[in-house]
Structure 1
Amino acid sequence: MPAKSRFTRLDAFTKTVEDARVRTTSGGIVTLTSLLLILYLVWGEWSDYRRITVHPELIVDKGRGEKMEIHMNISFPRVPCELLTLDVMDVSGEVQTGVMHGVNKVRLRSESEGGGEIETKALELGADEGGKHLDPEYCGECYGAPAPSNAMKPGCCNTCAEVRDAYAGVSWSFGQGENVEQCEREHYSEHLDAQRREGCRIEGGIRVNKVVGNFHFAPGKSFSNGNMHVHDLENYFAGGEGVEHTFTHQIHHLRFGPQLPDASPSQQILSSAWSNHHLNPLDATSQQTAEKAFNFMYFVKVVSTAYLPLGWERTGSILDIPHELVEL
């Protein structure tokens, strides 16, 4: 018996003869609908098989002594750079006062002049009038305060900045350096008055401990008075003729942790439902006030996050989620 005949006996779906078949329109519609449904179900199963599923996992960060980077670009149009100070402190007891390492202060023109940057040569105003050309035997007086530890000449205050540091070390108000020989030589008061209408932009980055803490911008030198962290606000409140200093500001950029590389369009579409790690919620934030004694506070919580897409190497970052982790 031919092989074909053996298999035809196994056919459970016997066919009618061609003459007995009747083809109808409804039968064609059912056939097409069935084919489309089959293709749709197959495509859906294939897409589901290929879909990448995100599994978020919360773990305790056991790292100690690690640092976190904070990158900033913030403008204060009504506070001159000479008065603006950046301090960092945390619950571990670490305090950084007058932070300048890794941070640049850019002097800005007054708002009436457009607020643009002042040319580079103007940024060095008075730089050559310090203690560079003094007699090697010269030892400036500290006016009753102990010399600061960072003085160029131990036990002496040869520049106006060193006298200011000495005063801050004993929690004394400094003012504009009246009757201080070093400040009069450097024309500190005149330079300060010339900058009264200017603004300041602070840009750069700082490294902080991964613990609860704060960094703040405040006018005047900072110092400790007992258990309190305070600032010398005399020059800030004094202002000038027709000048009112306020802490109106604009946050151009504020990022916690390193910048992640830009994702491809397909990755952005895929991750848009669960991640906004390319967004910094405080970017382009601005606040205005007409009061001198007005304090803006931002309470920010950040979560250390690792993104592990398939086929990529481990990348660390800091994720900040505006609707859950940032309270304004």
Structure 2
Amino acid sequence: MPAKSRFTKLDAFTKTVEDARVRTTSGGIVTVTSLLLILWLAWGEWADYRRIVVHPELMVDKGRGEKMEIHMNVSFPRIPCELLTLDVMDVSGEIQTGVMHGVNKVRLRPESEGGGAIESKALQLSEDDAAQHLDPNYCGECYGAPSPSNAIKAGCCNTCAEVREAYAGVSWSFGRGEGVEQCEREHYSEHLDAQRKEGCRIEGGIRVNKVVGNFHFAPGKSFSNGNMHVHDLENYFAGGDGIEHTFTHKVHHLRFGPQLSDEVVTRIGKKGMAWSNHHLNPLDDTEQKTEEKAYNYMYFVKVVSTAYLPLGWEQKTSVFDIPSELIKLGDYGKGEANSIETHQYSVTSHKRSLTGGDASKEGHSERLHARGGIPGVFFSYDISPMKVVNREARSKSFSGFLVGVCAIVGGTLTVAAAVDRALYEGGSRLKKIHSN
């Protein structure tokens, strides 16, 4: 016989003689059951290892000079597109006319006819479409107002829109354009009357500086009067044919930045993992109704920068290193490996009658509304200094998976051995009792 190894005394797994082993039916059942249980638990451990969780992190937003996209879809069933104006302003209070945008005005049928779409036309934030003239030497009169800086021909007002722009530049009320040759040629008042009963939907997106600002929907041409931003409200309040314009509206959709793909939202949502709900927009499907013309709605929005980083993502270049002018509207914030730089937001709202008085109709008789203001829907947004980063990760490491499998095998076999021993001892004692 070979000499015993020095490790023999260290053997913790003592062996039994083959002849001393006893095989039982109950032992076989316990063995098969334990093996099936090990396979089932090991599969669960593997599925848990493959599971993806999202870890939210909070940090200071150190971005500088970035842009932000605002995507909207808002319906106004009681005000026509001809009267509705969209203005974008930043913290300086100046109207932003050079922002990149892809906004459309959609004319809607009257509410009595179902409110379906009639036609869609691109919205111009800075200038209106120019009418074509047969005479290239034509120079229209501005009727005492200086020619606007964005006129087709310097020193002239060749379109009704340019006359309106010229009037707005000197804070004059324009009205229906009676006696203005350009407006009569373009049938401005006729178009206005034809659309009196219609509604309007504003849909699309704008790209603005990532600073405190606001965008608002108000009636009439806007202009600055001293330090005040005002609108020409004459046509809005005039109405006509028994039509009363109001700012009843419905926010179908409003978000800041790109939306997470449906695939990501569905994949993570189905697995029931705790993560940021920034794919939810709190103003979606918000509806407000009023019968007053002079009524103002204000939404105060707090915007929080939010990043979504998929599994295995490593930053090579920032999505903001590329000049924003080279990125088409809707793609700003989408990075490599399906990473996304977007925003989530919270909102509070306020509404008031511009005629003043108390708020007893809203159930607050102790509250007094200020008198004056511009009727419309205003969205004022503020930028949070904090940023939320949602990072995908495995629920556990591979070493953790191996530890779990070892624990499953060892624990199951230990329990199975105890069960088998109990069954064997119990069976032996029963036999002795019956034999006696």
TM-score range, shorter chain: 0.7 to 0.9
Deviation at residue 271 of structure 1 after TM alignment: 6.3
Q: Which amino acid aligns with 1:319?
A: H
Alignment pair present for 1:279 and 2:280: yes
Tell me what 2:83 maps to: 83
Within 2, Cα distance between the matches of 1:242 and 1:294?
A: 19
Tell me what 2:255 maps to: 255
Q: Which amino acid aligns with 2:339?
A: T
Larger radius of gyration: 2
Gap runs ≥5 in structure 1: 122-128
Deviation at residue 11 of structure 1 after TM alignment: 6.4
Q: Which amino acid aligns with 1:112?
A: S
After superposition, the C-alpha distances for 1:294-326 in whole angstroms (9 at most, x for unaligned) are 1111111222221112134262232325xxx22
Within 2, Cα distance between the matches of 1:298 and 1:272?
A: 31
SS at match of 1:279: coil
Alignment pair present for 1:59 and 2:80: no
Gap runs ≥5 in structure 2: 122-128, 314-336, 350-436
SS at match of 2:217: strand
Relative distance call for 1:173 and 1:155 in structure 2 (3 A) is: same
Contact 1:74 1:202 (C-alpha < 8 Å) held by counterparts: yes
Within 2, Cα distance between the matches of 1:140 and 1:165?
A: 13
SS at match of 2:65: coil
Tell me what 1:165 maps to: 165
TM-score by length of 1: 0.80
Contact 2:160 2:188 (C-alpha < 8 Å) held by counterparts: yes
Contact 2:222 2:229 (C-alpha < 8 Å) held by counterparts: yes
Contact 1:145 1:170 (C-alpha < 8 Å) held by counterparts: yes
TM-score by length of 2: 0.62
Tell me what 1:183 maps to: 183
Deviation at residue 176 of structure 1 after TM alignment: 0.7
SS at match of 2:270: helix
Tell me what 1:124 maps to: none
More strand by percentage: 2
Within 2, Cα distance between the matches of 1:137 and 1:231?
A: 33
Relative distance call for 1:101 and 1:275 in structure 2 (3 A) is: closer
After TM superposition, list the pairs within 5 Å mapping 1:104-253 onto structure 2.
104-119=104-119, 131-253=131-253
SS at match of 1:263: helix
Relative distance call for 1:189 and 1:148 in structure 2 (3 A) is: same
After superposition, the C-alpha distances for 1:17-68 in whole angstroms (9 at most, x for unaligned) are 99999x9x9x999999999998898777666655545432223333332211
SS at match of 2:255: strand
Within 2, Cα distance between the matches of 1:205 and 1:292?
A: 27
Deviation at residue 159 of structure 1 after TM alignment: 1.6
After superposition, the C-alpha distances for 1:146-168 in whole angstroms (9 at most, x for unaligned) are 00111112111122111100000
Using the TM superposition, name which of 46-55 and 285-294 deviates more.
46-55
After superposition, the C-alpha distances for 1:262-294 in whole angstroms (9 at most, x for unaligned) are 225443334652122332222222211111111
Q: Which amino acid aligns with 1:326?
A: V
Deviation at residue 85 of structure 1 after TM alignment: 0.4
Within 2, Cα distance between the matches of 1:296 and 1:268?
A: 34
After superposition, the C-alpha distances for 1:156-214 in whole angstroms (9 at most, x for unaligned) are 11221111000000111111112222222222112111110011111111111111111
Q: Which amino acid aligns with 2:238?
A: A
Relative distance call for 1:296 and 1:236 in structure 2 (3 A) is: same
SS at match of 2:144: coil
Within 2, Cα distance between the matches of 1:3 and 1:247?
A: 100
Tell me what 1:125 maps to: none
After TM superposition, list the pairs within 5 Å mapping 1:273-312 onto structure 2.
273-312=274-313
Relative distance call for 1:180 and 1:316 in structure 2 (3 A) is: same
Deviation at residue 69 of structure 1 after TM alignment: 1.0
Within 2, Cα distance between the matches of 1:100 and 1:318?
A: 17
